Amino acid sequence: MRSALRRFRRCALSAAAGTAVAAIVLTGCSGEGQAASDGPTDEASQEESGAPEDGEGEGEGEGEEEEPAEQVVFDYGDESDDVRELQARLAQLEHFAAQPTGYYGDVTLGAVSEYQRASGIEVSGTVFEGTWEALTSETEEPSQEELFPPEPVFDYGDNSDEVRELQARLRQLDHFDENPTGYYGDVTTAAVTAYQNASGIEATGTVFQPMWDALRAETETPTQEEMFPPVEVPDVAPAQDLDERCLEGRVLCISKTSRTLSWVIDGEVQMTVDVRFGAEETPTREGEFEVYWKSRNHHSTLYDSPMPYAMFFDGGQAVHFSQDFAANGYNGASHGCVNVRDEAAIAQLFDEVNEGDRVIVYW
């Protein structure tokens, strides 16, 4: 082990007997919550107080010594390359899913706790000497790549023109069937995985430098039209079919009857898209609202799922793109949000709608 075992957690107390209290010899500790005595601690003072010598008169448990506290090797808040080794060893046993960082934070504490539970060690979240010895006996010395894994070029949740280029190049090889959007979501992950499988590259769904180099070698630099193809706007709904509240100002007009969302400005319908609503137990609420927050690359912490192009209008309910809706249609439901399955359309809509624009949900 490269790091010295550090930090001892113990305080030693001198025994006391008789009616007088013997002097306490400690470092930063005192008995029964009292401050350490400033009085004499030499032999003369011991004789005056009647303090026993050589353990005489200690009573029950005479001669027994307290077992030394186990040493702490790593603890919350530590930051070093040795913590990076800890994380890499935990990763070998599939208890640490992130990339090693060298910082002992919440993720590492959880991984240590899970390892301790699985190994029958008292769960503390702290790496004591026993935990470290057990872990090192079960794992191999991490390689340099395990300690310092390469950073991805593109990964899930990225949103940029460079991702558009990735999508356009994948489309040249028939691995990406949609128009480039610049957002790295489920569709792009599936396309990257398909390319990796076809090219004999480890299928991770993430783009690392060797894959990016190989893809660029096989494809042409995308044209402007390949990266930004014209958006095909869906047929619009006639204004007379909309709720009258939708005919003034800027409104996302959402009909549960027709299962459509129409983007309306001053009574003129700009766009209409198919939408899906919440299930019976998690219904989409009807009423008049407004867009109070937009989040392009939103990820739900409640349901641990992506919600790209989210436009929140009532608590946690939002209009957003749904890959599940795109893949499975109406054979499913949301948790209350208004799902859109046309990613190109929702991307355009996200750019046009402003916070404060009205939202009408009705039957």
Location of structure tokens 């959880």: 110
- Rounded Cα–Cα distance for residues 188 and 156 (Å): 8
Separation of CA 185 from chain center: 16
Q: Which residues contact 68 (CB under 8 A, 6 or more apart)?
A: 8, 10
**CA-wise closest residue to 315 among 248, 361, 351, 271:** 361
Check: CB of residue 186 under 8 Å from CB of residue 233: no
Location of structure tokens 């927050």: 293
Paired with 183 in beta bridges are: 159
Query: Is 246 a known active-site residue?
Result: no
Return the DSSP state at 7: -
Query: Is 298 a known active-site residue?
Result: no
- Rounded Cα–Cα distance for residues 197 and 191 (Å): 10
Active site residues: 320, 337
